[in-house]
Amino acid sequence: MNDFWYRFKSQPWRNLGLASALTVTLAALAEILLVLCNNSSKICHDSILFMFQPPLGQVFVIGAAVGVGALGVYLCENWERVAGVSLNTASLWSLVLCLMLAIGIKSFLLNSLILDFSQVSLIGIMVGVFWKGRPYWR
């Protein structure tokens, strides 16, 4: 039990938090661009409406969550060279927690179209993080 708390406290929380904040900010900017594109022309509106219809809409949301998880790992990999973030299984789980906290804050502050605080987003983010972070499993 004491070992768990030591490992939990010894995670690079600051760097993981910065990487997840940047990742969720980029996802929010993509959502804003999607809304602006939706409002700009009829062709964009029709294509976005087609993307969010029931069979394809859920796949699109899961794919966006997987992409956010993979982008978080990619940013941590690049941060590893600069700030010394050592990725392993525990830090990947910590990244999932940081990403979900950042998405929760974003969902509280902004109205979400694609990426919101839900089980679907959690599952997609876990798949993305552990798919892209496969070399760091130990």
Q: Is the Cα dihedral 87, 74, 99, 80 positive or negative?
A: positive
Region of poorest pLDDT, from 1-5, 13-17, 70-74, 96-100: 1-5
Interval 92-106 mean pLDDT: 95
| Chain centroid to CA 41 | 29
Rounded distance between C-alpha atoms, residue 44 and residue 23, angstroms: 25
pTM for this entry: 0.90
Predicted confidence at residue 56, as pLDDT, reads 87
**Residue 23 pLDDT more than 70?**
yes
Predicted confidence at residue 100, as pLDDT, reads 96
Region of poorest pLDDT, from 26-35, 42-51, 124-133: 42-51
Q: Identify the residue with better confidence: 113 or 109.
A: 109
CB 22 within 8 A of CB 72: no
